[in-house]
Amino acid sequence: MSGQRIVVVEDDRATRIALRSLFSRMGYEVTTAATVADGFCLLDPAPDYLILDLMLPDGDGADLLRWVRSTKLPTRVAVTTGLCDPDRLEALSALKPDGLLSKPVCVSELCCALSVRKAGTHHMA
């Protein structure tokens, strides 16, 4: 796994720390951000994987996904959200995330969406 990088953009501190710990133990280099602005700063160089929350304090995480897709970064993106709005989710699906997961997130589903080695089946808020 050495050299593969995961960026986690999540404003919930506990979830951010848990994801960092989990993927670090799996051998990934993990960097984290709590805002859209900080997330943009972590996309150069392009990470292998991006775990992206949508509702962030300074804007919409979908802006990061839109940018990743429009610039054709070779990054697999898993979106995690607590949103239930079908119109919003449909619009998000048009951006073609590799995974669209409802919170609480099942870690094995997250790993599957990213195509990374599977971890346990724990849930994270």
Q: What contacts 51, CB < 8 A, 6 or more positions away?
A: 6, 7, 8, 9, 10, 19, 78, 80, 110, 114
In CATH, what number is assigned to the domain containing residue 97?
Answer: 3.40.50.2300
pTM given for the model: 0.89
Domain that holds residue 79: 5-124
Domain count, the chain: 1
pLDDT in single tens digits along all 125 residues of the chain: 457 999 999 999 999 999 999 999 999 999 999 999 999 999 999 999 999 999 999 999 999 999 999 999 999 999 999 888 888 888 899 999 999 998 899 999 999 999 986 544 444 55
